[in-house]
Amino acid sequence: MEAVRQWISEQNPGVYRLCWCENNTVGACESLSDFNASAGMLTLRGPTKHATSRIATIGEPFTFATSGVWITTQSMMRLQHDCGREPDVVMKDAVAEVASGADLSYRFGLISEATTPAGRYKLCWCQPQFQSVPPSACTAAQEFLTFVADVTVICPSGQHGKNYEPCRGCPWFWQRPSRLREECIFNDATNFALVMATVICYLCGWMVLWYELGIMARGPGGRRCSLVGRKVHIEDISSCPSTSGEWSAIVTTTTAHRLSNRFGTFPIHFYQTGHHMLDSSTEACLYRARALSTRALQLLDARGRPVQGADTSHGFFVLSCLRSTLHSDVIPRVPVALAAPMLILCTPPLLVFVSEENEIPYSHSFGAAAALGGCLAGFVISRLLHFLIPKDSSIWYALVRFQEKLRERNPVPAPCNKGPQRALTAFQIFDFMNEFQHYIRDRNLYYIDSNIVRPLTSELKLSLAEVLGPCQVSWFVSHFWGTRFTYTCEALRRHAEAVVVSDHAGTSWESVSYWICAFSNNQYCIDEELGKSHYESSFYLALHSSSVQGTCMILDEHALPLTRSWCLFEVLQTMNLEKKRTDFVGLQFCTNTGVVNFGRATTEVALNIGKRLVHLSLADADATCSQDRDTIKSLVIQEMGSFDKIDMVLRAQIKKALVVSKGCIDDDFDLLFQHLDTGLTRVSL
């Protein structure tokens, strides 16, 4: 009987004819034609069966409309695992109400995951029959026998689940729930592009922000481990005349600096430039800059006035974090301070929008992971870009090329004793100058020492003479580091040519050797070079060498070497050697037009030097180290008695040189007049 009820419940409602067959013989009632006697009519009441499965979504109302035979508003429907069987959980019930015409609507209300988890269900129907025996109140699951349709309960948007398991989001952002939200599938191209655009937006925002920031072990003001703006590497800093006629230092960067004058000039801090003022960490040495072009900036002091002099070809400068984001542009006219927040802060709303519109899973944990991942990935990529973008100035490549040449000339540089053995020939000095002429220009030894000499010798920690290949000294050079190096080289060339001619040696002027402190001293061991007393210093040892013929003092019209204490020491030792050695020629006053002692300097230069020495006193000589200044002054007083005496001796020597110069000039004029007279005589004839 149970099987019959089950079979009837699976049939569509309607009016059926009952056919009878008497099963009294073998083989009777085996075919439909045997049922040829009418037994009456049977009406099956109930809703119409639906072959198409219906979908109900958790968290949304579910309504089922249907028609049928003799169904009333007292009928009920229920979502069950199977019709006519006792369920393991309470299922969802719905009471019929009139929809339109003969159709009835069954409203189930909101589908709850607690009572109806995601899965496949049967829609079962029951009509209360209180007159039947036994009566049916449609409360037990077995009473909902009639199958109406298959119903699939699916998870809310962006989640998946099946087989009555809890709903959950997809584990990866490139996945989305399937149509029935039973499993996660790969997202289609459109949604995947939206997700990738969101991720790239987040990544770019953090990368742009991190690129503008950096961490320094010692930041502005001497603070340790400071967060600062990005490093802007320097190609060159040199002075150029402005349109107003004033000289101003121009900073040229290795790549486009991307800095703008938004909100006016901006403060900067210099590092590793080798310039004692630029690298100073005191607040008094704070500089400002004004952008002139994509790679050029004008250097200003803290008050916004142009800085006239500052020369270097390496190092970098930084801005503060805030200034870096305000003045740096991602693209022209779009500052980092605007672009980065927009890219970062617009990402969460975009993620929510994509999630709601395209059913891409999104959760707070995913958002936090995306934010952290974008931040870390942006940091790594920004550091990688800092590493890959060229930051070395062009002088670095010139130094590398010159070092390769030096390995061929002097493969194994070796240290030698300080003093007279560390001289350089005129050829080596000029070869050095010609190699870096593009960078030296009109600069002095302060620039050359920090930008060329030290980088060339930093690996071996030797003097430049030892790296280039030293030789024995012939002439000691007394000079001022602030003199243009091209002026010094030209003065040495003039001196070397004059020496070769006067000695009748028959050798080239390029073979004459000179001891220059910037090249002959080991700049990494200055204390050892100076020794414990002046008698142990490299200056004293070189100057008192038996091979030294004299002292070449490089003088310009301002006679600046005579304002420095160490040059005063060299003048004192030269005077002492003149008394002790008959073969020592003493001071040779060298200029870029010739040697004054030989009468080869121009009249104007010779006269200007003489005028300068009239009012100059060696007592005013100064030094970077006050202890050196005091020691040298006491030594002068000890050996000469007073500064007046050494001033008198120096003036006597320059006077003697000027007398020779005057005699040579007079001889030249006499010879010129003779030639002119001879020419006039020929014309008259």
- The DSSP code sequence of 355-390 is HHHH-----HHHHHHHHHHHHHHHHHHHHHHHHHS-
pLDDT higher than threshold 60 for residue 284: no
344, 209 in Cβ contact below 8 A?
yes
Tokens of 551: 């002292």
45, 145 in Cβ contact below 8 A?
no
Point out the least confidently predicted range of 159-173, 233-247, 354-368, 484-498. 354-368
126, 143 in Cβ contact below 8 A?
yes
Provide the pLDDT for residue 283. Answer: 57
Tokens of 371: 């934010």
Tokens of 16: 């059926």
Mean pLDDT of 120-149: 80
pLDDT higher than threshold 90 for residue 434: yes
Burial 57-69 (b: 16+ CB within 10 A, else e): bbeeebebebebe
Provide the pLDDT for residue 281. Answer: 64
User: Comparing C-alpha atoms, which of 73, 111, 107 is closest to residue 91?
Assistant: 111
User: Comparing C-alpha atoms, which of 145, 150, 152 is closest to residue 11?
Assistant: 145
Q: Which amino acid appears at position 403 of this protein?
A: Q
Mean of the per-residue pLDDT values for the chain? 85
Provide the pLDDT for residue 685. Answer: 43
Provide the pLDDT for residue 126. Answer: 86
More confident residue, 433 or 6: 433
User: Comparing C-alpha atoms, which of 158, 324, 160, 134 is closest to residue 229?
Assistant: 324
Residue 336: band (very low, low, confident or very high) from pLDDT cuts 50, 70, 90: very high
pLDDT higher than threshold 80 for residue 218: no
CA distance 372 to 366: 10
pLDDT higher than threshold 90 for residue 79: no
Provide the pLDDT for residue 101. Answer: 59
Provide the pLDDT for residue 300. Answer: 93
Provide the pLDDT for residue 38. Answer: 81
CA distance 335 to 366: 29
Highest mean pLDDT among 78-87, 355-364, 638-647: 638-647
Mean pLDDT of 151-176: 84
600, 662 in Cβ contact below 8 A?
no
User: Comparing C-alpha atoms, which of 564, 518, 522, 517 is closest to residue 543?
Assistant: 517
CA distance 65 to 69: 14
Q: Bridge partners of 227?
A: 215
CA distance 541 to 57: 99
464, 402 in Cβ contact below 8 A?
no
CA distance 56 to 323: 57
